[in-house]
């Protein structure tokens, strides 16, 4: 998605420029094409952590930027009638442990006190009412606000079709192996690929998790890590389960989270993700199998599937029926590679065992690469 949107911006801003997009495999085969399609602007949850890192004003701006990005995306999809299973409606953040509820309340109050915009967020602090609204048995509270879900590949493909019409040259199945200075001209770069070289004045690295393979200065700063998505067909709606009305972030305490993303305008399946307890085993396994950090061929990881299964049967009303009790129903899974930045690693997967630079800030890297005029980066994306 990053490369596609950067190309769009470049051809719209400088129509005279020639743009080549180089993709190692098929179009949109990275994390974007594999993600759950949950477009959820953070409205308050990350505030305290951002405030600690960047101060109050910058933390407010980060959340405003999330909101603006979401609004502009919805505007683009609606205006251009993009066929991407787009749905907009309320998401719910639902803490299900006292610890998570306390943290959520403290964060929300601090955000409000700091001048954060809370008029879009509906808060229910009474557990019984929260459980009724959310259909989550152990709900301690519920925070609701507008978000979207969509089919990310379809959105990216729509934007890329427009780019191609404007003259963008898309080369798939073309891995970039190196970016070096041109010998002919000092202000040019050579992008070396397996299918030939491209000489150009500007290079934008949008390979996210894989960036350090081409730009070693980012090693240890942006780190690849597989993330699982489990796709489940929900039980039939009835007395107990009335069908999902929106998406969820279920807050489990500490920084654990399960995301529940019913693609309401899609095929009816529900996508589960987030950093659940099964993730710890995945990280331990990765430490023993380091080559897997960049391999998105993983089609299921038992501990992650088990954690999703336990959560769904234990917490979702109507999911404890016989059919949904079978772990088999949760086994359709796949992976993609996130570009974790060190603060994310520190918070979410402390046992990762990677060498971290603690001064890093947990947000994506966007801008010119220091000491490399004409080389730019937009990477370190890891989603919600």
Ligand X SMILES: Cc1cc2nc3c(=O)[nH]c(=O)nc-3n(C[C@H](O)[C@H](O)[C@H](O)COP(=O)(O)OP(=O)(O)OC[C@H]3O[C@@H](n4cnc5c(N)ncnc54)[C@H](O)[C@@H]3O)c2cc1C
Q: How far is the CB of 136 from ligand X (least distance, A)?
A: 19
Q: Check binding of 341 to ligand X (CB under 6 A).
A: no
Token reading at 271: 């996508």
> Helices in the chain by DSSP H: which ranges?
2-13, 31-34, 47-54, 56-79, 98-113, 127-134, 152-165, 211-214, 278-288, 302-315, 322-325, 342-348
Q: How far is the CB of 38 from ligand X (least distance, A)?
A: 3
Q: Check binding of 170 to ligand X (CB under 6 A).
A: no
CA distances in angstroms from 139 to 30, 104, 131, 254, listed in the order given: 34, 12, 5, 16
Q: Please, are residues 250 and 260 in contact by the beta-carbon 8 Å criterion?
A: yes
Instruction: Please tell me the distance from the alpha carbon of residue 166 to that of residue 233, in angstroms, as a whole number.
Output: 40
Q: Which of residues 212-231 bind ligand X (CB under 6 A)?
A: 213-214, 227, 229
Q: Please, are residues 116 and 62 in contact by the beta-carbon 8 Å criterion?
A: no
Q: Check binding of 384 to ligand X (CB under 6 A).
A: yes
Query: Which position among 8, 19, 30, 215 is part of the footprint of ligand X (CB under 6 A)?
Result: 30
Q: How far is the CB of 132 from ligand X (least distance, A)?
A: 26
Considering only CA atoms, which of 324, 303, 302, 323 is closest in space to residue 313?
324
Query: Which position among 336, 348, 360, 362 is part of the footprint of ligand X (CB under 6 A)?
Result: 336
Query: Which position among 207, 212, 292, 305 is part of the footprint of ligand X (CB under 6 A)?
Result: 207
Query: Which position among 116, 138, 266, 273 is part of the footprint of ligand X (CB under 6 A)?
Result: 273
Q: Which stretch binds ligand X (CB under 6 A): 133-141, 209-217, 316-324, 342-350?
A: 209-217
Is the CB of 36 or the CB of 307 nearer to ligand X?
A: 36
Q: Which of residues 246-265 bind ligand X (CB under 6 A)?
A: 261
Q: Which stretch binds ligand X (CB under 6 A): 12-20, 97-105, 365-373, 376-384?
A: 376-384
Is the CB of 36 or the CB of 356 nearer to ligand X?
A: 36
Instruction: Please tell me the distance from the alpha carbon of residue 249 to that of residue 269, in angstroms, as a whole number.
Output: 17
DSSP-derived pairing of the beta strands 196-200 and 189-193: antiparallel
Is the CB of 101 or the CB of 147 nearer to ligand X?
A: 147
Tell me phi and psi for residue 382, to 5 degrees: -140, 5
Q: Please, are residues 120 and 70 in contact by the beta-carbon 8 Å criterion?
A: no
Q: Give, rounded to a whole angstrom, the gap between the first and last alpha carbons of the chain.
A: 15
* Residue of closest CB approach to ligand X: 383
Residues that bind ligand X (CB under 6 A): 1-3, 22-25, 29-32, 34-38, 175-176, 206-210, 213-214, 227, 229, 261, 273, 336, 338, 381-384
């Amino acid at each position: 998605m990053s490369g596609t949107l950067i190309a769009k911006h470049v051809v719209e801003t400088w129509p005279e420029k020639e743009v080549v997009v180089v993709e190692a495999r098929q179009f949109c085969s990275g994390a974007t094409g594999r993600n759950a399609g949950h477009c959820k602007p953070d409205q308050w949850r990350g505030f305290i952590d951002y405030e600690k890192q960047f101060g109050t004003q910058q933390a407010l701006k980060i959340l405003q930027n999330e909101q603006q990005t979401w609004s502009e995306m919805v505007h683009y999809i609606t205006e251009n009638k993009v066929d991407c299973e787009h749905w907009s409606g309320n998401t719910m953040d639902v803490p299900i442990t006292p610890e998570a509820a306390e943290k959520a309340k403290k964060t929300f109050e601090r955000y409000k006190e700091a001048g954060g915009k809370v008029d879009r967020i509906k808060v229910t602090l009474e557990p019984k009412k929260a459980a009724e609204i959310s259909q989550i048995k152990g709900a301690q509270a519920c925070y609701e606000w507008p978000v979207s879900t969509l089919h990310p590949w379809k959105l990216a493909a729509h934007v890329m079709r427009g780019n191609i019409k404007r003259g963008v040259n898309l080369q798939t199945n073309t891995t970039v192996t190196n970016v070096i200075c041109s010998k002919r001209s000092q202000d040019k770069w050579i992008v070396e690929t397996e299918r030939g070289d491209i000489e150009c004045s500007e290079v934008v690295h949008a390979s996210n998790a894989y960036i350090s393979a081409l730009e070693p200065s980012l090693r240890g700063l942006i780190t690849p890590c597989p993330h699982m998505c489990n796709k489940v067909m929900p039980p039939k709606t009835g007395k107990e389960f009335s069908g999902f009305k929106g998406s969820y972030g279920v807050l489990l305490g500490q920084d654990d989270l399960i995301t529940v993303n019913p693609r309401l305008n899609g095929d009816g399946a529900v996508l589960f993700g987030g950093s659940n307890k099964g993730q710890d085993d995945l990280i331990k396994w990765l430490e023993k199998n380091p080559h897997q950090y960049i391999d998105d061929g993983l089609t299921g990881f038992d501990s992650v599937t088990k954690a999703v299964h336990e959560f769904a049967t234990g917490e979702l009303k109507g999911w404890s029926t016989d059919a949904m009790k079978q772990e088999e129903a949760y086994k359709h899974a796949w992976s993609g590679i996130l570009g974790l930045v060190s603060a994310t690693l520190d918070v979410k997967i402390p046992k990762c065992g990677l060498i971290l630079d603690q001064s890093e800030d947990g947000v994506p890297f966007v801008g010119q690469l220091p000491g490399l005029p004409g080389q730019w980066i937009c990477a370190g994306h890891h989603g919600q």
